[in-house]
């Protein structure tokens, strides 16, 4: 127990240590997080009236970001599957970064859901009367929290073992890794079911949403990881081989193609049938009765996704520069398409045919940015701490021997740059 407390304390101290770039980055993230917290406190005082949501469009940016981030959490599964299922060892040393990403992203998801609640003070009502298995939202609560715990356990165990200087025992984590793979797929499926099960919203009421979720998640997630790994190898001494990045490139490539194909299926079904149900899709792609707010967004997204797919198909994208461009295009493209492009149009027109557009407010945007900054902050800390620990540079034994040399090191001086 004392050892574990020491471990947590060391992790805490490590997260404050770094060069000026690290401190600058962390300061910026902290400031943005606090600005978001400020906006959220306003929301707590005045209610959700501080957002752009209305009775007509009752879900907005919070749920859009939540949906996208559930997808991003898939990144972990996409790293784990090649290693543990196909024994592709290129990715072995970087799996942990995917899982740490999953942890931070799921925490962001939970924060977005909390931000969206009108009465966050009653959150514990979920514990007293849990409408399981009827409400899909209760499934999502289980899926997300379960996934969080699984990944926390896997990462925590591996990192703690490294800290203690012992070899991790496969019994304690490999079964969880396999459960986490299935679980990763389930968090998307369940989140998709949240929307597709509603007969009153024809835009969502389509079986293709869940597969599209998975495809876009398996593109955006690994794309994000490709960029992250490059940052990790730039700023730490952890080696990441290009082979790992190229394996991920293949995953993004295939997922992107499937995503585009499913999108085409969806668009064809809607517009060729051209029934009354096409109203929301028409609003999204072409505008309805002169209301066109989302049109530029969705075409930007489609343009980005197409460009990313083409780039990924070119052999030239084995070069990192082009690959990075393709990754950024798919991350942003999918964020628009799966976030605002999936959530908002389902509310326009309303079930009574009213067309009210949704325009996020500054408050709402600040809260979103705050949660993103907080997520990045968490992820940065996780990576910052795990790299030296996994490399065996920070262990319990070293810590013990140091303490005997100089007890004043508790101030953190031991880990400082000098």
Partner 1 sequence: MRDADQPQSSGASPQGPRAANLTRRAFITKGAAAVAGASAVAAAVAPLATIDREDIPSIGEFLQKHYKEMTAEDKEQVFARIRLEVEKRHGVKVTLTDPPALNGVEYVYGLNISRCIGCRRCVHACVKENNLSRSPELQYIRVLEMKKGSIDVESADHYYDPATVPDPDKYYMPVQCHQCAKPPCVKVCPVEATWQEPDGITVIDYDWCIGCRYCAAACPYWARRFNFTDPQVPDGEINPDMTYLSNRPRQKGVMEKCTFCLQRTRVGRMPACLEVCPTGSRKFGNVLDPDSEVAYILRHKRVYVLKEDVGTIPRFFYYFDERGSRYHDPIGAEDTGGDA
Contacts to partner 1 from residues 120-139, by CB under 8 A: 120-123, 125-126, 128-131, 134-138
Q: In 165-275, which ranges are continuous DSSP H helix?
A: 170-196, 209-235, 242-273
Strand partners, 291: 288
Size of the site for partner 1 (CB under 8 A): 86
x/- mask, partner 1, residues 137-156, rule CB under 8 A, reads xx--x---------------
Q: In the bound complex, what is the minimum distance in angstroms from residue 173's beta carbon to partner 1?
A: 24
Q: In the bound complex, what is the minimum distance in angstroms from residue 346's beta carbon to partner 1?
A: 8
Q: Are the C-beta atoms of 284 and 333 separated by less than 8 Å?
A: no
What's the token pair of residue 36? 């978001």
Nearer to partner 1, 97 or 218 (CB): 97
- Rounded to whole angstroms, the Cα distance separating 145 from 172 reads 20
Q: In the bound complex, what is the minimum distance in angstroms from residue 412's beta carbon to partner 1?
A: 8
Piece in contact with partner 1 (CB under 8 A), picked from 177-185, 218-226, 318-326, 399-407: 399-407
Which of 24, 85, 89, 117 is close enough to bind partner 1 by CB under 8 A?
Answer: 117
Q: CA gyration radius for the chain?
A: 22
Q: Which residues between 231 and 250 bind partner 1 (CB under 8 A)?
A: 235-237
Q: Residue 255's closest CA among 299, 293, 193, 309?
A: 309
- DSSP secondary structure, 20-36, as one string: HHHHHHHHHHHHHHHHH
What's the token pair of residue 200? 């009153």
Which of 24, 271, 402, 410 is close enough to bind partner 1 by CB under 8 A?
Answer: 402
- Rounded to whole angstroms, the Cα distance separating 380 from 407 reads 29
Which of 175, 296, 303, 351 is close enough to bind partner 1 by CB under 8 A?
Answer: 351
Q: Which residues between 207 and 236 bind partner 1 (CB under 8 A)?
A: 235-236
Nearer to partner 1, 116 or 218 (CB): 116
Asked if 198 touches partner 1 (CB under 8 A), the answer is: yes
Say which residues have a Cβ less than 8 Å from residue 4's Cβ, sequence separation at least 6.
Answer: 160
Which of 347, 358, 374, 382 is close enough to bind partner 1 by CB under 8 A?
Answer: 347
Say which residues have a Cβ less than 8 Å from residue 224's Cβ, sequence separation at least 6.
Answer: 72, 75, 101, 327, 331
Piece in contact with partner 1 (CB under 8 A), picked from 176-184, 260-268, 319-327, 403-411: 403-411
Which of 1, 167, 182, 200 is close enough to bind partner 1 by CB under 8 A?
Answer: 200
Piece in contact with partner 1 (CB under 8 A), picked from 82-90, 321-329, 330-338, 397-405: 397-405
- Rounded to whole angstroms, the Cα distance separating 283 from 167 reads 57
Q: Which residues between 18 and 77 bind partner 1 (CB under 8 A)?
A: 18-19, 21-22, 30-31, 34-35, 37-38, 41-42, 44-49, 51, 53-56, 58-59
- Rounded to whole angstroms, the Cα distance separating 43 from 45 reads 5
Q: Which residues between 266 and 325 bind partner 1 (CB under 8 A)?
A: 276, 279
Q: In the bound complex, what is the minimum distance in angstroms from residue 376's beta carbon to partner 1?
A: 15
**DSSP character for 288?**
B
x/- mask, partner 1, residues 1-20, rule CB under 8 A, reads ----------------xxx-
Q: In Å, how far are 22, 71, 93, 380 from 15, measured between CA atoms?
A: 10, 27, 21, 8
Q: In Å, how far are 11, 250, 297 from 372, measured between CA atoms?
A: 22, 27, 20
Please, is 327 exposed, middle or buried when counting C-beta atoms within 10 Å of its C-beta (0-12, 13-18, 19+)?
buried
Nearer to partner 1, 338 or 384 (CB): 384
């Amino acid at each position: 127990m004392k050892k574990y407390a020491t471990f947590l304390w060391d992790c805490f101290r490590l997260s404050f240590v770094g060069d000026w770039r690290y401190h600058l980055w962390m300061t910026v993230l902290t400031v943005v997080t606090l600005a978001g917290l400020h906006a959220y406190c306003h929301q707590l005082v005045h209610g959700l009236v501080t957002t752009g949501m209305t009775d007509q469009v009752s879900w907005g940016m919070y749920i859009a970001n939540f949906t996208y981030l559930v997808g991003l959490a898939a990144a972990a599964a996409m790293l784990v599957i090649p290693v543990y299922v196909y024994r592709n060892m290129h990715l072995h040393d970087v799996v942990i970064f995917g899982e740490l990403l999953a942890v931070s992203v799921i925490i962001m998801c939970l924060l977005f859901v909390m931000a969206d609640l009108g009465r966050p003070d009653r959150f514990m009502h979920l514990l007293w009367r849990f409408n399981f298995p009827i409400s899909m939202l209760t499934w999502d609560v289980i899926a997300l929290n379960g996934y969080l715990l699984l990944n926390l356990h896997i990462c925590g165990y591996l990192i703690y073992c490294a800290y203690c200087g012992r070899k991790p025992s496969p019994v304690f984590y490999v079964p969880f890794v396999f459960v986490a793979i299935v679980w990763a797929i389930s968090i998307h499926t369940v989140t998709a079911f949240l929307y597709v099960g509603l007969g009153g919203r024809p835009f969502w009421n389509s079986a293709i949403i869940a597969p599209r979720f998975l495809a876009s998640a398996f593109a955006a997630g690994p794309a994000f990881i490709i960029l992250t790994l490059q940052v990790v190898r730039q700023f730490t001494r952890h080696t990441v081989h290009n082979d790992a990045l190229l394996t991920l490139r293949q995953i993004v490539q295939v997922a992107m193609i499937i995503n585009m194909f499913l999108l085409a299926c969806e668009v064809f079904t809607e517009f060729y049938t051209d029934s009354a149900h096409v109203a929301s899709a028409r609003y999204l792609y072409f505008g309805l009765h002169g209301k066109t707010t989302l049109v530029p967004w969705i075409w930007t997204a489609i343009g980005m996704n197409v460009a990313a797919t083409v780039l990924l198909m070119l052999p030239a994208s084995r070069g990192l520069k082009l690959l990075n461009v393709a990754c950024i295009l798919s991350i942003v493209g999918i964020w628009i398409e799966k976030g605002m492009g999936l959530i908002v149009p389902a509310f326009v027109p309303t079930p009574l045919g009213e067309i009210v557009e949704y325009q996020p407010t500054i408050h709402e945007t600040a809260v979103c940015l705050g949660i993103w900054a907080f997520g990045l902050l968490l992820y940065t800390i996780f990576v910052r701490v795990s790299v030296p620990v996994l490399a065996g540079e920070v262990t319990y034994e070293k810590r013990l021997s140091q303490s005997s040399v100089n007890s004043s090191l508790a101030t953190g001086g031991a880990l400082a740059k000098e």
